[in-house]
Structure 1
């Protein structure tokens, strides 16, 4: 079967492939934000962490010749940003939302400054698994070419849900997120737990950034993120702080992001640029749909600042 024989079937196929490609950064950033928020802290700085992770991952991959070294470097950069965010937020009378915005600008500024020498050089790409080996149709082959990080993100989502539900460390994070006083009564140190939860969340956001620069779109430039770190906050709210729901919601966001290119692939170009706004419209719609002036958001940790 040739590519011309697909016709309009190319739209859902392209959306499927695009959802898989576009959703991967959303998966990692949203899981990182989910972990951070379940401990009772919101981190709006993950946009800066994502961009800096993309830059540092690309730079290290280029210098070492290894894409996986780039992913490791991006994760370490995310940890450092998370530790900085967590350390500042534990100081008296510090607002975590304001700190997150400041660190977002700081991370993006650092990435743009240090990343200028790496705009032109070509770094190695992350590997992918050709699940479409059984077909000769280019659209199917492209749609079924799955990056390793997408699979890892799916496994991580289920593992994190299991951790929150059944393990001691998951219970500790949930207790700290729901009540600082109860955590202290149990002999726990809420500041330390939130610090390391924020650091782990930053590491995941850094990995999401490395995916952007080392696989899709697969280059480093200053506009690589397009606000995905901020949209992940809305995604976590929509997912009701459930890691598995974060995975499915990330696919939904990814599908929205792939809508424009999918329609263009079958010749629908009128209003093409409007379709690129689909993820942002979806984000706004979800924030409106989940907001309430009369009650806290269901499923939200009680210590989270957006619920107070």
Structure 2
């Protein structure tokens, strides 16, 4: 095993850096899914939204030389996918889970079709904040190269948690997720609320996709997402439908995904790839635990299909 200036601390430091980077798209997608499920709807199409957002961000950044404009366009593209999902789910006898799977296939297919010309060209990337400039160690400096989107995601989690608990908008969203009949009795459109919130969730997933293509790993390819949009459902269950808990859940899943690269960074070239499966195993554990009839899903919106027995 290769030696480094900081010895054995190289592995946890690399895991910390990897956790922050890998967790950023998890954070945005899980926040988007958390809001969507709070309104009583599951959107399994966020995987397609994430991939299309990554492609849209990379294409716009390449043509305009503005990665932030690319990120914004990715968010609006995600909002369009979310609005389409919400509009279809308003139709009678339509299942939101089946529509989500269809939207996932539609989004990824559309991204692969339009993204072919952008596999090779190099687009401008999102800048990073050098929070490790105080240290003379290159490992610390590299670990603390934080993308602003990570900090923005944390700020949004705080705002969403406050808004859901303290604002009229949050009350309406939670009421819609807990009782559609009560929402209608209060004079609000259940379909309208869910459409708006699903569009907002799609916007968040699109921004998460922009991080993938414009920051880490920082390129556009057809295998970019690795199922992070699908894992968002497990993250939200693990976080008990609380935006602030999504931060910890995203960091946990991000750390799980960073184990393999961290071991590789210190010279372990044999067997490290086994740890690349850690996020998928963690997702499986969360979903199996959530499906147990003895498991109390605290905080689950009553209108979700997983809360009905």
Q: TM-score, normalised by structure 2?
A: 0.97
Match of 1:228 in 2: 228
- Map Cα deviations across residues 120-167 of structure 1 (whole Å, 9 max, x no partner): 111101011000001121111111110000000000001100011101
Alignment deviations for residues 80-135 of structure 1 (CA, whole Å, 9 cap, x no partner): 10010000001111000000000000000000000000001111010110000011
Residue 188 of structure 1: how far off its partner (Å):
0.8
Distance 1:190 1:296 in 2: 26
Map 1:184-223 to 2 at 5 A: 184-223=184-223
Unmatched 5+ residue regions in structure 2? none
Give the match for residue 73 of structure 1.
73
Matched ranges for 1:262-281 at <5 A: 262-281=262-281
Distance in 1, matches of 2:61 and 2:266, equals 35
Deviation at 1:242, TM superposition (A): 0.3
**8 Å Cα contact 1:126-1:214 kept in structure 2:** yes
Q: How does 1:293-304 map to 2 (within 5 A)?
A: 293-294=293-294, 297-304=297-304
Deviation digits for residues 203-252 of structure 1, max 9, x if unmatched?
00000000000000000000000000000110000100000000110000
Query: How far is 1:265 from its partner?
Result: 1.6
Contact 1:291 1:297 in 2 (8 A): no
Answer yes or no: is the 8 Å Cα contact 1:296–1:307 preserved in 2: no
Q: Give the match for residue 6 of structure 1.
A: 6
Corresponding position of 2:123: 123
Q: Supply the distance in 1 between the matched residues of 2:105 and 2:222 (Cα, whole angstroms).
A: 13
Which secondary structure does the structure 1 equivalent of 2:270 belong to?
coil
Q: Within 2, Cα distance between the matches of 1:25 and 1:296?
A: 28
Alignment of 1:286-297 (within 5 A): 286-294=286-294, 297=297
Shift, 1:266, TM fit? 1.8
Structure 2 equivalent of residue 145 of structure 1 = 145
Task: Report how far residue 294 of structure 1 moved.
Answer: 4.8
Q: Classify 1:6/1:296 alpha carbon distance in 2 versus 1 (closer, same or farther; 3 Å).
A: closer
| Aligned twin of 1:257 | 257
Instruction: Give the aligned partner of residue 282 of structure 1.
Output: 282
Q: Is the 8 A contact 2:289 2:295 kept in 1?
A: no
Indicate conservation of the 8 Å contact 2:83/2:199, yes or no.
Answer: yes
C-alpha displacement of 1:296 = 5.9
2:146 counterpart SS class? strand
Distance 1:97 1:81 in 2: 15
| Corresponding residue of 2:177 | 177
State TM-score, norm by structure 1.
0.98
| 1:25-174 equivalence runs, <5 A | 25-174=25-174
Separation of aligned partners in 1, 2:295 and 2:275: 34
Shift in Å, 1:172: 0.4
Distance 1:185 1:215 in 2: 46
